Structure formats: C-alpha cells, structure tokens
Amino acid sequence: MARRITSILPDLSFEEALEISKIHSVAGKIGNDTLINKRPFRSPHHTISTTGLIGGGSFPKPGEISLSHFGVLFLDELPEFNKKTIEVLRGPLEDREVTISRANATYSYPCNFMLVASMNPCPCGFYGSPDKECTCTERQRSLYRGRISGPILDRIDIQVEVPNVKYEKLEGKAGESSNIIKERVNKAREIQLNRYKGLNIYSNADLTPKMIDIVCKLSEPSKIILKKSFEKLKLSARAYSRILKVARTIADLDGQKDIQSTHIIEAIGYRSLDRKE
C-alpha cells in the first residue's frame, strides 16, 4: 500500500524538499548535507505514544506528524490506537503546526501532512458484509466506533467504505496504472501551484475560510444541492468547508476552471460516515 500511495503523490518542489529535509535533520534521521527528494510515508504502530506521534522529549524532537510533513501519515486500524493519542491530532490537523512547550523553551514544528487511516466496520470485521454474518452485538459495534470521536472524523475530508472484492474482479483487468494517475495528479497540482503563487500555500487543503469564498464559488444549482445535503446530513461548518475544498480538487483533476454540480455531488458522496449517521 505504501508503494501504491507514494507512487501517485505529486512531485516535490525544491522548497518542499528543503523543508522536509530540515525536519528530518533535526530529528537525526539524515545528515545535514542530504536533501530528501521523495514525499515521506510514515506508518507508526498503534502502540505509539503521544510523544512519539506529536513529538517531544527532554530535548523536544519532531514526532511522526512532523516527519510526515508534505507527505502521508498512515494509521492502520485506527480504533486500536490509544484514544488520547488520536485526540491530540485535532490541533495539528487544523493548524498544520505543532507546538511543544517546556520550562525553558517552546518549540514549533510544521506538520502539513495527509492523514490516511483505515478501520474495520466492527470488531469482527464483517458488519454489512453480504458474504459473512457479523458476530458483534450492537453495543460492541457502538463501543468500537466510539473509539474515534466525532471531531476527529469531522477532520477527515474523504471517508470511503471499501466492500469485499469478488474473485471475478480480482482476476479481471487491472485499473489505471500509477503512472497515469500520477500524471493527472501532477497536472492538478500545477494548476493549484499557479493559482496560489506568491501566497505561501501549495494546495487546496491549505485554503483559509476567506480564500474558500473566493476560490470555491458555486453556481445556484450547486448551492441548492449543498444546502439540501447540509440540512439532511446535519453537517458541521468544518465538514461544509472540507466538501468545498474536495470539490475544488475534483474540478482541478477534471481540468475545469469552475466547480460544477457533479463535483459537489461527488465530494458529498465521500462523506460516507456522515451519511451512515
């Protein structure tokens, strides 16, 4: 999975490579004269401590979230992580920076990372499966889901359920190659770099609320669709802005200057946990 994800990530700019290299140098991961030229992919074990994830220690060093800067932080089996450890991600996911305070100094490290997480639908893993019956009780499923708080789920832009894959599909033709996908991703990335040139941001994910109003303008039909979905799904203000950012990215991948209704519908479709609730 790591190879598949990293193979389709957009190429690094020199400025991004320099920032990543500085962080890894401070953490003692590379030499001072080495420049990292690939986006990082970090996949810590679910037993990781809060300090290991966020950073810290007697002489505070960057944690996994900062080592994932401009790359991917993959948390497999998310509910198995300590709940308190997961909750400390709230601030960094919003601020793209983590601050560690000590008695004699305060340290700040950037952490503009892409969070990718996975989890089973229930403890046994078969809830909703058409092939096998779930053996969990409703209480067990509720407790399992409850390990991930609403505020954390709210900060995950894209939530997708992955059903069991039939054998017929496994032996069928493969989908798009990583090279083709990466080419499309790089084109969308170039669009965004040109759009935000001189603003010190690199992608739609970095948009501020004020910039969202300018960059993510919607037609009247799109506004109606979003309004109805917002009311029906009882979306939060944070989910609202994230849907707009995702829709803007879908439009960029589609090579469209303006966000279309289809882009809004697709972005809403990626809020599967909101729909399930």
Tokens for 108, please give them: 């700040």
Q: How far apart are CA 239 and CA 259, in angstroms?
A: 17
User: Rounded to whole angstroms, how far apart are CA atoms 266 and 66?
Assistant: 31
- pTM for the whole thing? 0.87
Strands, E, within 102-159: which ranges? Answer: 106-110, 114-117
Report H helices in the chain.
2-8, 14-26, 50-54, 64-67, 83-87, 90-95, 138-145, 150-154, 167-170, 178-195, 209-215, 220-233, 237-253, 261-269, 272-276
Residue 108 forms beta bridges with which residues? 99
The more confidently predicted of residues 38 and 164 is 38
Rounded to an integer, the average pLDDT of 132-140 is: 93
Which residues in the chain are classed under CATH 3.40.50.300?
2-119
Burial grade of 120 (CB within 10 A; 0-12, 13-18, 19 or more): middle
Confidence band (pLDDT; 50, 70, 90) for 86?
Answer: very high
The alpha carbon torsion through 182, 188, 194, 198 (nearest 10 deg) reads -80
Asked whether residue 261 carries a pLDDT value surpassing 60, the answer given is: yes
**The pLDDT value given to residue 274:** 64
Q: Are 193 and 202 in contact (CB under 8 A)?
A: yes
**Structural domain 2-119, CATH architecture:** 3-Layer(aba) Sandwich (3.40)
pLDDT of residue 232: 86
pLDDT at 243: 94
The per-residue pLDDT for 3 is: 61
pLDDT tens-digit profile of 73-82? Answer: 999 999 999 9
Tell me the per-residue pLDDT of 198-241, one tens digit each, with 9 for 90 and over. 888 889 998 988 899 899 999 999 999 999 988 888 888 888 89
